[in-house]
Structure 1
Amino acid sequence: MSQSLITQELGIIIAAKNHNPTLIIPDFLKYSGIVPAEWELARQPISTPQVSQIAFTNGILIVAEPTRVIFIEAIEGKAVAEIIVADIAKKYVQALPNVEYEAVGLNPRSYISFDQQQDAARQYMAEMLLSPGTWQEVGTAPVRATLNLVYTMERCPFYLTINEAALRNPDETSTPIVLFNGSFSYEVKSETAPKRLRTLHQIIDNWQADLSSYQEIIKTKFLNQSPSNTYIPDIFTNNASAVA
C-alpha cells in the first residue's frame, strides 16, 4: 500500500489501587514539579471524585480516575526529542511514590487516510484484513468490522485494534481513515514502593523502542512497507481531527 502511517498520539496509562483523582489539579502538578509552571491550560479543568482532567495548550492531556492515571501527548509533527509525555509520567509517579501502581500501558495511535476514496477504508478492512465469504453479505449495507489482535512479545503482550473512522476536516467534509490503536501492556509486580518506582521508570523509559516496534509491525505487516531503523514518528502536517 502507498498510504503513509501518521502517528497521532502516544499515551501512557498507569493502573493503580485507590488512586485519588481529586489530587490532580493544576497547582499540584506545577508545585510538585510534574509540569513546568509556565504551561497554559487549554480549557477549564475537570475535578470530581471519579475523574479529573487537565489539558494543556502544548498537547499534553492528563486524566485521573480511581484505578488509573492517563497521560496523552499529541505527537503528530514532532521529532522524537520533542516528545515529553514519558518524562511527565515519570515525574508523576515520583511525586506520589506510595500509590500502589499495578501496571503500565504504552499506547501509540496512528492512522492511514484515503483521500477522495470514500469507501476505501471499509474496503481495506473487508478485503485486505478479512477473508472473503458470504458472511460479509448479510444485511442491507456492506459489513463494517473492528479487528482486535493480541501478540505475545518477549517483553510483554502487545494489543492492536484496527477499525474504520473518519477525519473531520476544517471545511466540514470528512476523510475516511483506518485507525491503529496499539498497547504494550506491562505488569508491575514489585512489592515495595522503591522497587515499584524503579520498575515503572524502566518500563516507561522503553517507550521509544515500543513506538518503533509498533510502527514497524504496522508498516511491514499491514501496509507492506520496508522497515525503518529510526524511532522518529512520521512527520506530517494535518489540521484535521479524528472522530470515531
Structure 2
Amino acid sequence: MRFLFTQFSIVVTAEQHNPTILNPDFLKFREIVPNDFEVSNVLVTAPLSQVAFNNDLIITVETNKMQVVKRLEGERGTNPETVKIAQLYVEALQHVHYEAVGINWLGEFHIEEPVKWIEKRFLSKGRWNDPPYGIQDSGVRMGFNVNGSKCMLNISCNHTPPRIMVSVNYHHDIIKKIPNYDEAVMLISKWEDKYSH
C-alpha cells in the first residue's frame, strides 16, 4: 500500500480579490510565472478567472480567494514553484486585504476494500458492522491545532477504482491589518513545516 500525492495547492482568501486582472499577460509582466510557461486555457469573467498551464498548474481567482493548484503524480507532495507563484501573486497585489492562507494536499492509496480499511481503523465493533446493516460507505474527518494552524484531515472511500482518498488542509488566519501581504507571504512560506507534519 503506497501513498501517492495527487494535488498540492495554496489558497489565499481576501476581503476582495479582483478576478478580472488575472490573465497570462499580467502573470508574465509581473514575473509571477516564468516566461516559458505555456498557457493551455484561459477564462476571464467578473466573478471568476482562471489561467491553466501545460505543466498541470492552474491559477484561479474568485472575489474572495486566489488559489494556485498543481496536479502531482507520485510520492513527493511538494512543489516549491507553486509556493513561489502564490507568494509572487500576493506581493504583486500588496493593497489587498488578505484574510487567511490555506495549504492543502490531496492524495490516495489503492486498496481492495476501502470501507473495511476505514471500519477496522476508526470504528468499534457493533451491530452496525453486521447484517442486516453493514456499512456501505465511510469517511473520517478530524481537526487539530498545529503550530497556530487549524488542520482538517479527511479520509474517505472511493469505490471505482477502490482506494482511500486523503485530503488535508492547514488553515491560518491573518491577524495583521492592511497592509498585511507580508504576513500572507510568510504563512505561505511555512508550507514545509506543514508537509513534514
Give the corresponding residue for 1:203: 187
User: Is residue 2:148 matched to residue 1:155?
Assistant: yes
Report the CA distance shift for 1:137/1:59 in structure 2 as closer, same or farther (over 3 A): same
- Matching residue's letter, 1:210: K
Aligned Cα root-mean-square deviation (Å)? 2.1
Give the corresponding residue for 2:9: 11
Which residue among 167, 171, 175 is the counterpart of 1:181?
167
Task: Give the Å deviation of 1:75.
Answer: 3.1
Task: Give the Å deviation of 1:165.
Answer: 2.1
For residues 66 and 156 of structure 2, what CA distance do their matches in structure 1 show?
A: 25
TM norm structure 1: 0.74
Counterpart secondary structure, 1:76 = strand
Query: For 1:197-227, what per-residue CA distance to the aligned partner results, in whole angstroms no more than 9, with x for missing partners?
Result: 22112111111121111xxxxxxxxxxxxxx
Report the CA distance shift for 1:154/1:144 in structure 2 as closer, same or farther (over 3 A): same
Give 1 or 2: higher strand fraction. 2
For residues 44 and 79 of structure 2, what CA distance do their matches in structure 1 show?
A: 29
For residues 79 and 157 of structure 1, what CA distance do their matches in structure 2 show?
A: 23
Query: For 1:82-104, what per-residue CA distance to the aligned partner results, in whole angstroms no more than 9, with x for missing partners?
Result: 53100000000011110110000
Report the CA distance shift for 1:139/1:46 in structure 2 as closer, same or farther (over 3 A): farther
TM norm structure 2: 0.90
For residues 201 and 138 of structure 1, what CA distance do their matches in structure 2 show?
A: 53
1:110-129 correspondence runs (5 A): 110-114=107-111, 117=112, 120-129=113-122
Percentage of identical aligned residues = 24
Give the corresponding residue for 2:45: 48
Query: Unpaired runs of 5+ in structure 1?
Result: 167-173, 214-244
Contact 2:13-2:66 at 8 Å conserved across structures? yes
